[in-house]
Amino acid sequence: MDSLTGFGRHFGGMGRALSARNYRVYWYGHLFSSNGGWIFLISSQWLIFHLTESPIWLGAIGFAYLAPLFFLGPLAGAISDRYGHRRTGIIAASFGIVVSLLTALAITTGVLTPKLMIILTIFQGTFFAFDFPARQALIPQLIERKNLSAAIGMNWATYCVAGFTGPVVGGAILSLGNSVYGKPMGAAMSYTASAFALSCIVLALTQVRVINPLPAKKQIEHIIPAVWSDLKAGIYYIVESTHLKIIMGLSVFVALFLRSYQNLMAGFAKEVFHLDEQGLGNMLALSGAGALFAAIILAIRGKTDGLTRVFICGIAMSAIALLVFVSNTHITSALVTVTFIGGLIVATELSAQTLVQNIVADEYWARVISISLAVTVGSPAFGTFAIGWFAEIVGLQIALGISAIIALIAVIIFGRKLLAARAEVEAKIQEAE
């Protein structure tokens, strides 16, 4: 009998998912690798700002990591469909380990430059663009259908938890390494830790067994035209739907002008609040804690009524909270505010995702969701770079303040139209349910 049978009996869907050895092995690897991703990100932010003390380089490193997902996400998902999701995940994560170790080696040998760091980060972002969709698609193949919803929930909740624990651990490793071995050796230690964390998911993927294999796909040489055709159909579907067009358009504004603050936090930590590496980790961790809290609240709420209002109000309140954050220099109030920002943005994004998933016709679901993923996860690359470039001229506080005002104006103009159609939108959701 499985050792976690009792756990499954007492903890509902979460327990049932973890009682299945196949998924449990995967989840252990997923837990470590999610923390490893955050350790990589905080290390990259701190290191590039340590090397350059330039907001534009800080924006460039964020762009380098996220842009591959924007450009390659749908194609990577299609390739993994045909090449095998587990195999794709193993290969992508393995290359990610190599990049992390190469970055650590470049630091210890003194050859790392900002340009080389950008190149290595682009490679890491490319491997992430292949790994992320592959692992999302793999989950239904690892567990019985009756426990699938719980497994997906666990997967997503783990990301949220890692958004809190990863920055704390990464900041601690940075601080310890820098204090013992001198700057920037803490970054070399944290990149090594990130490589170790990624190795856990590689090990896990080699141990799991596919129990619900997907039907074989078409030959790989037909991927590009097929993906391009699907994307065109998905974009046309969005453009033809007034409600989807507004929701997706406002989601772009959130991604570009509000979500980007996370990728510029190293500059704020050092220039505005005079914090060390651990302080940077704590700021990002509190943002993650706010995100986790918001996700739990929405999960407990568990209904779609009023999500349109949550979406619109979430954007407006996120913009206002960001304005409050950039306008103060008191660390305590800044930490409180950044917690609220993390929660409000996640509430906004989850509401948008739920609205989109419920109003899209079944035959267009996959292609619209792939576009939505590229927008919500990949678009901050462009916002981060643009805001970082602008901050080089006017300063981080003014640049992010202006971006918050742009988002606020957008939600005032377009949000009113969506609120006016709220009854119609939520009626569609009720029909889908």
Q: Which of 208, 236, 259 is the last residue of a domain?
A: 208
Amino acid letter, 402: I
Do 10 and 76 belong to one domain?
Answer: yes
Query: Is the residue at 97 inside a domain?
Result: yes
DSSP states of 140-165 as a string?
GGTS-GGGHHHHHHHHHHHHHHHHHH
Q: Using the predicted structure, report yes or no on whether residue 6 has a pLDDT greater than 70.
A: no
Same domain, 102 and 72: yes
Choice among 272-276, 383-387, 422-426 with the minimum mean pLDDT:
422-426
* pLDDT at residue 149 tops 70: no
CATH number at residue 158: 1.20.1250.20
Query: Which residue is listed with tokens 């990301």?
Result: 159
Q: What's the structural domain count of the chain?
A: 2
pLDDT at 84: 83
Residue 15 has pLDDT above 80, yes or no: no
Task: Give the per-residue pLDDT at 1.
Answer: 41
42 falls within a domain: yes
Q: Using the predicted structure, report yes or no on whether residue 4 has a pLDDT greater than 60.
A: no
Q: Are residues 288 and 319 in the same domain?
A: yes
Considering the domain architecture, whether residues 225 and 200 belong to the same structural domain is answered as no
213 in any annotated domain: no
Say whether both 245 and 348 belong to one domain.
yes
Regarding whether 351 and 286 lie in a shared domain, the answer is yes
Question: Does 269 map to a domain?
Answer: yes
Token readout for 120 is: 């290595």
- Higher-confidence residue of 127 and 416: namely 127
Domain with 402, as residue range(s), is 219-433
- Whole-number pLDDT of residue 328: 84
Do 306 and 203 have their domain in common? no
Query: For 112, left (φ over 0), alpha (ψ -120 to 50), or beta?
Result: beta
Residues 198 and 240 occupy one common structural domain: no
Q: Are residues 121 and 44 in the same domain?
A: yes
How many angstroms separate the CA atoms of 60 and 57, rounded?
A: 5
Among 173, 208, 243, residue at a domain's last position: 208
For residue 313, is it within any domain?
A: yes
Higher pLDDT, 369 or 350: 350
User: Contact, 55 vs 391, CB < 8 A?
Assistant: yes
Domain boundary among 150, 183, 208: 208
**Looking at the domain assignment, is residue 123 inside a domain?**
yes
Nearest to 335 by CA among 182, 167, 221: 167
Query: Considering the domain boundaries, does residue 28 fall inside one?
Result: yes
Is the pLDDT reported for residue 158 higher than 60?
yes
Task: Spell 300-311 as b/e; 16+ CB within 10 A means b.
Answer: eeeebeebbebb
Is residue 270 domain-resident?
Answer: yes
**Does the pLDDT value for residue 176 go beyond 60?**
yes
Same domain, 180 and 270: no
Q: Are both 200 and 227 inside the same structural domain? A: no
227/198 same-domain check? no
